[in-house]
Amino acid sequence: MRKLFIICLIAFIGIANLTCSKDAATTYAAASGTGQGGSLARFTIVGNCLYTVDNEKLKVFSIIDPANPILKKTIDAGFEIETIYPFKDKLFIGSTSVIHIFSIDDPENPQKLSTAISPTVMRRCDPVVAKDSVAFATLRTNGPCGGMESKLVAFDIKNITNPIQRASISVSEPYGLGYADTILYVCDRYQGLLIFNIKNAYNPGLINSISGNWYLDVIPYYNTLICWVSDGVILYDISNPASPKFIAKIT
Amino acid sequence: MRRSLIFWILILILASCDPKRGTWNDSVQAYVPVYAQLSDLESISLQPSQSTTKAGKIYAYSNYIFQNDINKGIHIIDNSIPANPRKVAFLKIPYSTEIAVKGSYLYTNLVNDLVVLDIHDPQHPVEIKKVKGAFPLINQQYPPYTNVYFVCADPKKGIVVDWQLQQMQNLPSCRR
């Protein structure tokens, strides 16, 4: 009996080590990196976990053995979920009505911390990115999203359990967004790629825009801004983030 | 002369009173579900680079950029020479929409299966694992739009992979 107990204990410790723990994440990340997705993604990787969202569920897969993902948890996250974006030990999950913020302090057990609701726009699509204590989101009100007016908004997330909207700027038909340093790029169907200065995060200032394409999402990746446009990809050099220089369009 | 003018004006006025919601003919626009073809579902293959049909989500990993071609697969773009990014191959994955990469492994979906591909050589990905039904289906009952008519999806016909806007003779019974 005692032997059985010890075997169980050893087995348990073995299983416990096969989780996407943070320690493992840091050591593994050094050996093999994770790529970067856009703000409209439904898949994202943090450390040794792959997180996926469908309309209602958040799923956690352990990829401690990256060739062999193992489903660890399925969580009811909300309704009409469209996007997932990781920032530090948080997941920001965008839906057609609100943003759900989860803690992944315990990577395999995401815990819901709060829900960010815009008081000005009731129904919209919410791709979201976070930077320090601010979360930026575009609230699009056309097509699947309903609602009356499209906005770029900034939420104060200093108190993560109580996000507060601090800024709201009208845009035409916004999609994904991303930032590099103190520059925020916002994709808009009609206005093009909008470039905001977010040095003062609660007062984003439009400094430039690049029209001529329907921009859907961006990934600022080192010195390159990778843009998803309606007919392919456009790359810009953002050595100076405030003034992207066109490199190429790939269709 | 005057009488015939009045006649023609009357004709014009009457002709403009189209009772059928202003459409020129009797047809209406509605979304129609597109079902996965079972014959397509197993065929992941590497193909020569090709032009983008329906540009989808993007993903950056090391010197490579991946762009999904909605429901078709993934374009592999070599960006190791920043001044000269170029497509190098196309990974055909039926009904793929998502991409994520960690440590030379690419995760994507084939309809609702999670697929793992070994991309140690990013120009020659190799499928190594499929987790059946891991990525739940989205947009099965209705198209991702509101205030639209659509043909009700029939689960017996299989998995809905897309919604196509089509001209129809009669209004379908589903609305959202």
Domain locations in chain A as residue ranges: 28-170, 181-251
Q: Which residues form the domain of B104?
A: 39-131
ipTM of this model?
Answer: 0.85
> pLDDT at residue A27 above 50?
no
* Closest CA relative to residue B160, chosen from B31, B32, B33: B33
> pLDDT at residue B82 above 60?
yes
Which of A119-133, A138-152, B13-27, B95-109 is modeled with the greatest confidence?
Answer: B95-109
CATH number, domain of B54, equals: 2.40.10
pLDDT at A32: 54
pLDDT band at residue A12 under the 50/70/90 scheme: very low
E-state strands within A107-191: 111-116, 128-131, 134-139, 151-156, 164-170, 174-180, 183-188
pLDDT at B29: 87
Q: What is the mean pLDDT of residues B34-60?
A: 88
pLDDT at B12: 47
Domain spanning A28-170: CATH 2.130.10.10? yes
**Reported pTM:** 0.82
pLDDT in tens, B128-167: 999 988 876 777 778 877 778 898 888 888 788 888 888 8
What is the C-alpha separation between A190 and A214, in angstroms, rounded? 7
Q: How many domains does chain B have?
A: 1
pLDDT in tens, A84-136: 999 989 999 998 878 899 999 999 999 999 888 766 555 556 788 888 899 99
Contact A41 B77 (CB under 8 A): no
Residues 6+ apart with CB under 8 A from B43: B92, B94
pLDDT at B4: 62
CB-CB neighbors (< 8 A) of B127 in chain A: none
Q: Which amino acid makes up residue A45? A: I
> CB-based burial of residue B168 (10 Å sphere; 0-12 exposed, 13-18 middle, 19+ buried)?
middle
Mutate to test the interface with A, among B31, B50, B51, B58 (most CBs of A within 10 A): B58
pLDDT at B6: 57
Residues 6+ apart with CB under 8 A from B175: B148, B149, B150
Contact A232 B55 (CB under 8 A): yes
> pLDDT at residue A211 above 60?
yes
- Percentage of chain A with pLDDT > 70? 81
For B122, phi then psi, to 5°, come to: -60, -20
pLDDT at B36: 79
pLDDT-wise least confident of A235-244, B4-13, B104-113, B138-147: B4-13
CB-CB neighbors (< 8 A) of B136 in chain A: 54-55, 57, 59
Contact A34 B62 (CB under 8 A): no
> pLDDT at residue A14 above 70?
no
CB burial of A168-200 (b: ≥16 within 10 Å; e: otherwise) equals bbebebbbbbbbbeebbbbbbbebbbbbbbbee
- Percentage of chain B with pLDDT > 70? 82
> CB-based burial of residue B147 (10 Å sphere; 0-12 exposed, 13-18 middle, 19+ buried)?
exposed
Residues 6+ apart with CB under 8 A from B3: none
Is B141 part of any domain?
A: no
CB-CB neighbors (< 8 A) of B131 in chain A: 61, 69, 71
pLDDT at B155: 80
Q: What is the mean pLDDT of residues A200-219?
A: 95
Edge-to-edge, what's the strand order for the sheet holding B73-78? A36-37, B55-61, B64-69, B73-78, B86-92, B45-47
* Closest CA relative to residue A35, chosen from A1, A86, A69: A86
pLDDT at B96: 92
Q: Which two tokens mark B170?
A: 């009669």
